[in-house]
Structure 1
Amino acid sequence: MCLRLLTGSPRTRAQLADALRRKDIPDEVADHVLGRFTDVGLIDDEAFAQMWVRSRHAGRGLGRRALAAELRQRGVDREIVNEAVETLDSEQEERRARELVMRKLSSTRGVERTKRVRRLVGMLARKGYPPGMAYRVVKDALESEGADTEDFPDTWDAD
């Protein structure tokens, strides 16, 4: 059963343990199987977390906070989660936030400025970016577009 689950996609130890529990596999048997799978390298939560962070950041544009929440939801240990999300440096995270805003910016043209700001900052917030970074990136994008940003909130450095 574990091999079949791992064939479809990588899984964490906790995800496999949950699957075994749902099939009423005794805990001792599940622990033995999961231990053996870990010993031979078929289960590696650290590698899973690293791959997850790279993949979801590049593909979905998720920030550190959202990535950490997804990993914790999959049962990855908090220390492993912290190590994995720390592999994303602030520059990478901000560069990806800028890309996301620039992609979305054109679809907000013609919308009232405060609504544009709210939509763009909200999009970044839902993707797990810190509020200070989100405001700063949106302000910069609107300035580069020539939009008025004089009465923006003074929370740019509130990362």
Structure 2
Amino acid sequence: MPRLNAETLAELTPQERAKRAKEVCFDLLAARPRTKDELRQALRRKGFDEETRETILGKLDTAGLVDDEAFAEVWVRSRHTHQGLARSALVAELKRKGVDAEVAARAAGEVGRDLEEQRARELVRKRLRSMSGLDEATAVRRLLGMLARKGYPQGLSYAVVREELREAGNESTLLDEAVQD
């Protein structure tokens, strides 16, 4: 099978182009679920024209093989559980993948405040185990930075770090002073 490029695609009949586009999409979907926009971008990179791209994506959508809402729900569960990402970071990732902002927000909404706080606590506890030799200011800074990079709100991060440091036996006066400033 010849390599796909604009020249070889131009030589194909519309039916052959559609068949090749479908094969490209199936190969990508076999590796992992994809959003419609991810498939659209892949087809564009391979040189498929807009009409072929949209026709194939419409057929895949109708067949239920591409579902951005289902993708978003699975993505949120996986990334929150395994990466510890907060709702705001999940929404941002989904938007980058081409998921509609409303769909992304609805999917991330499945992670409630309680779940978000629980996951933040787990992350802080895990990280604290490797910070025993650090001074308090460095530990606080690193813990807050880690939670910020994962998208946790500042208020929640301060509260969780303060409580977890207290439970670990480190009275956090530095954090209390920072919150008051």
TM-score (normalizing by structure 1):
0.94
Superposition deviation, residue 150 in structure 1: 2.7
Distance in 2, matches of 1:59 and 1:110, equals 27
1:87 maps onto 2:87 in alignment:
no
Superposition deviation, residue 70 in structure 1: 1.0
One-letter amino acid matched to 1:133: L
RMSD: 1.0
Superposition deviation, residue 43 in structure 1: 0.3
1:43 maps onto 2:66 in alignment:
yes
Displaced runs of 4 or more, over 4 A = none
Number of residue pairs aligned between Structure 1 and Structure 2: 155
Q: Deviations over 1:87-114 (max 9, x none)?
A: 1100000000000000010211121111
Counterpart of 2:13?
A: none
1:110 maps onto 2:125 in alignment:
no
1:98 maps onto 2:136 in alignment:
no
Q: 3-state SS of the aligned residue for 1:110?
A: coil
1:59 maps onto 2:82 in alignment:
yes
The 5-angstrom pairing of residues 11-50 of structure 1 reads: 11-50=34-73
Superposition deviation, residue 65 in structure 1: 1.4
Q: 3-state SS of the aligned residue for 1:46?
A: helix
Q: Identity across aligned pairs (percent)?
A: 46
Counterpart of 2:146?
A: 123
1:3 maps onto 2:3 in alignment:
no
Superposition deviation, residue 154 in structure 1: 2.2
Counterpart of 1:154?
A: 179
Structure with the greater relative contact order (CA < 8 A, sep ≥ 6): 1 or 2?
1
Structure 1 residue ranges without an equivalent (≥5)? none
Distance in 2, matches of 1:134 and 1:81, equals 23
Distance in 2, matches of 1:121 and 1:107, equals 15
Q: 3-state SS of the aligned residue for 2:173?
A: coil
Q: Deviations over 1:44-102 (max 9, x none)?
A: 00000000000010011111111111111111111111101111100000000000000
TM-score (normalizing by structure 2):
0.83
